[in-house]
Amino acid sequence: MIRRPAVVVFVALCLPHPVAAQAPSLAEAVKSTVSDRALDRHAREITSSPRPSGSPGENAATDYVAATLRAAGVPVEIHEFMAYTSNPVSAAVTVPGTDFAPDAITMSFSGATSGAEAELLDLGTLRDLPELEVGTGERLAVRAAERWAHVRGRVVMVTGQPRNVPTAALEELGAVAAIFVNPEERLNELIVTSTWGTPSLLNAQRLPRLPAAQIRRSDGEALREMLADGPVRVRVRTVVDQGWKPLRMAVARVMPVDATEDTPYVLFGGHIDGWHYGGTDEGASNAAMLELALAFHAHRDLLRRGIVVAWWPGHSNARYGGSTWFADRYFQELRRRGLAYVNIDGIGQMGAKRFSVSTSPALRRLATDVVTAATARAPGQGRPGRNSDQSFNGIGLPLMQINHSRLAEDGGYWWWHTPEDTYDKIDLGVLRTDTDLYADALAAILSDPVVPLDLSAEVDALHEALDRREADAGGELDLTAARAVTDELGRMAARLDEARRRGDVPTELDRRVYDVLRPIHRVMFVPGSDHHPDPGLYGAPLPGLEAAAVLAEESPGANRYGFAQAYLIREVNRLVEALHESREAAASLLRAMDVRW
Ligand SMILES: [Zn+2]
């Protein structure tokens, strides 16, 4: 029996978003076409085999998606390309001379070793080590590195999830190997590289060499008990299958009936590879993507804009290798035609209770209004992290993801990235609710007379980020020039939003609002270069100014201060130039609309 949400009726009664209110016909048509039985059939099929990237299981899932689309007449491309992948094979953590030999795994892109042996050093808990969590440039600059001299030559044990930042920091500090102790009594598959997509000549040197293993909480406690009695020598072995693999990617293109080579489109993506059977991470989401592609195609007569749906391979064991390949190969087309990147991941979870949205500022209001209207509850709001196939920030696409999660008091998402993530963890009622939310949000972008973007929110977020970076620098960074352009952009954004809300902006002119938005989005999400993926070490807005904090931590004359200053002056130049580009686009658009500011 499939549970249908009782709140569907609410959609018609409560639509606080004035723009979304004009889109119900496409949304309702799509939702009435999405089939519960088909969602279940797709999810069962896709989750029937393990799907590490490049595996027969992943290829079978991709072929199923493509065949289902083709049978309905949906245009679908299959791309095949080589990607640099890394599969964790096995790990062993032993204390020579004892029978201590717990279950252990290694991680994707860990260094490999037939046996690294040294005295064990316990660093405690990652949460208490902010110095190991700070990324400030293309290479990591560990704060107060001299404090960490004792790490060199040791096998380091630390409680926390194995991630790229601590791995890079411990490698830089000269550790021999790392043992990550899972904070829970389980082992979660993870990835430890700070490269993004297939490495290039620019960043291949950042592929980790440090062997990294993971053990359960209780085994970490056992090691700590041994340490309490005196020094302990530990041996770590890791086996990793790393190299080039052919990957296959299905991409559906659903365009309005009167589409041209220039018709703008939303990019809607989710990963088809998964750890083990990938039930809710993310066979369920893949099924929703498939039903939505079919339903939007069935109602393409109602589309003003197109939707390109991509099932990314290489999300985990090629570290976003699929979405990055697509961003690189379609860079110019996406700059010309891309409207937004909508990511889907982890929907349909059994026991999910909390809704949240992860968006860039321009799409926050749309996502929030869609969830509030459908569930009668305001969702939590956040900014997308540097994860989840967010490979399109250099293009400047605004971001949206809608999440529906389990509560910690219900045990949280305990099967995530484990062999327990199987089909039975999917709740078909939850999956249907979540699929309908994506239908509502996508339908608004695809059929509203103007794209529901909030430019003023974007400029407000930019103001806040400038304040924060100046505060980080403790008075050592001057952002006056950026602030002056931002003030002017704020006034222009208010005028543009007003005119667009009134709905009297011709479609051809409305597209130019992206020329205003994109330069801001890029500096808000990308450090360094729009064309080369960054290390994925950053979370906060204006990541190019992350090193502002170094100016407050160090004294003028210190090497680290001087290096940070050299980096920051270039990043401020890049920022100011981007804001001028945005200002020029706004002025030109306002003039074309005959609006004064
Ligand atoms: Zn996922």
Taking the centre of ligand 1 as the mean of its atom positions, its distance from the CA of residue 520, in whole angstroms, is 28
Taking the centre of ligand 1 as the mean of its atom positions, its distance from the CA of residue 315, in whole angstroms, is 8
Q: Yes or no: say if 385 and 438 are a contact pair by the CB < 8 Å rule.
A: no
Name the phi and psi angles at 153, rounded to 5.
80, 5
Cα–Cα distance measured from residue 595 to residue 597, given in angstroms and rounded to the nearest whole number: 7
In the chain, which stretches have pLDDT less than 70?
Answer: 1-24, 131-144
What's the full length of the chain, in residues? 597
Taking the centre of ligand 1 as the mean of its atom positions, its distance from the CA of residue 275, in whole angstroms, is 9
Quote the tokens at residue 350. Answer: 């059994």
Per-residue pLDDT at 133? 60
Q: Yes or no: say if 326 and 251 are a contact pair by the CB < 8 Å rule.
A: yes
Per-residue pLDDT at 141? 57
Tell me the DSSP string of 370-383.
HHHHHHSSPPEEE-
Q: Tell me the CA end-to-end span of the chain in Å, nearest whole number.
A: 57
Taking the centre of ligand 1 as the mean of its atom positions, its distance from the CA of residue 442, in whole angstroms, is 20
Is the domain covering 10-75+255-447 a CATH 3.40.630.10 domain? yes
Q: Yes or no: say if 370 and 441 are a contact pair by the CB < 8 Å rule.
A: yes
Quote the tokens at residue 582. Answer: 């945005």
Listed residue (77, 86, 236, 206) closest to 138, CA to CA? 206
Taking the centre of ligand 1 as the mean of its atom positions, its distance from the CA of residue 534, in whole angstroms, is 20
Cα–Cα distance measured from residue 534 to residue 519, given in angstroms and rounded to the nearest whole number: 17
Taking the centre of ligand 1 as the mean of its atom positions, its distance from the CA of residue 296, in whole angstroms, is 23
Cα–Cα distance measured from residue 187 to residue 198, given in angstroms and rounded to the nearest whole number: 26
Between the alpha carbon of residue 80 and those of residues 48, 59, 67, 249, the distances in Å are 23, 11, 16, 6
Quote the tokens at residue 390. Answer: 């967010």
Listed residue (264, 385, 276, 293) closest to 74, CA to CA? 293
Per-residue pLDDT at 2? 40
Per-residue pLDDT at 136? 52
CA 415 to chain centre: 20
Radius of gyration (Cα) for the chain, nearest Å? 25
Taking the centre of ligand 1 as the mean of its atom positions, its distance from the CA of residue 388, in whole angstroms, is 7
Quote the tokens at residue 53. Answer: 């990237």
Please report where in the chains the tokens 């291949």 appear, as a residue. 204
Taking the centre of ligand 1 as the mean of its atom positions, its distance from the CA of residue 188, in whole angstroms, is 13
Taking the centre of ligand 1 as the mean of its atom positions, its distance from the CA of residue 390, in whole angstroms, is 12
Taking the centre of ligand 1 as the mean of its atom positions, its distance from the CA of residue 108, in whole angstroms, is 15
Give the strand pairing for 306-312 and 265-271: parallel
Taking the centre of ligand 1 as the mean of its atom positions, its distance from the CA of residue 308, in whole angstroms, is 19
Taking the centre of ligand 1 as the mean of its atom positions, its distance from the CA of residue 28, in whole angstroms, is 28
Taking the centre of ligand 1 as the mean of its atom positions, its distance from the CA of residue 417, in whole angstroms, is 9
Cα–Cα distance measured from residue 206 to residue 188, given in angstroms and rounded to the nearest whole number: 23
Taking the centre of ligand 1 as the mean of its atom positions, its distance from the CA of residue 69, in whole angstroms, is 22
Tell me the DSSP string of 535-581.
-S---SSSGGGTTHHHHHHS-TTSHHHHHHHHHHHHHHHHHHHHHHH
Please report where in the chains the tokens 């696409």 appear, as a residue. 397
Per-residue pLDDT at 19? 45
Taking the centre of ligand 1 as the mean of its atom positions, its distance from the CA of residue 497, in whole angstroms, is 34
Per-residue pLDDT at 3? 42
Domain ranges of the chain: 10-75+255-447, 94-242, 455-592
3-state secondary structure of 265: strand
Per-residue pLDDT at 505? 83
Per-residue pLDDT at 507? 79
Please report where in the chains the tokens 């090497």 appear, as a residue. 559
Taking the centre of ligand 1 as the mean of its atom positions, its distance from the CA of residue 270, in whole angstroms, is 8
Between the alpha carbon of residue 164 and those of residues 56, 110, 565, the distances in Å are 28, 10, 25
Taking the centre of ligand 1 as the mean of its atom positions, its distance from the CA of residue 347, in whole angstroms, is 9
Taking the centre of ligand 1 as the mean of its atom positions, its distance from the CA of residue 196, in whole angstroms, is 16
Quote the tokens at residue 515. Answer: 């020329």
Between the alpha carbon of residue 98 and those of residues 95, 226, 237, the distances in Å are 6, 11, 16
In degrees, rounded to 5, the angle at the alpha carbon of residue 67 between the alpha carbons of residues 61 and 70 is 145
Cα–Cα distance measured from residue 597 to residue 492, given in angstroms and rounded to the nearest whole number: 6
pTM over 0.75: yes
Burial of 540 (0-12, 13-18, 19+ CB in 10 A): middle
Taking the centre of ligand 1 as the mean of its atom positions, its distance from the CA of residue 487, in whole angstroms, is 38
Taking the centre of ligand 1 as the mean of its atom positions, its distance from the CA of residue 281, in whole angstroms, is 4
Listed residue (211, 85, 208) closest to 139, CA to CA? 208
- Sign of torsion over alpha carbons 365, 368, 372, 377: negative
Is the domain covering 94-242 a CATH 3.40.50.150 domain? no
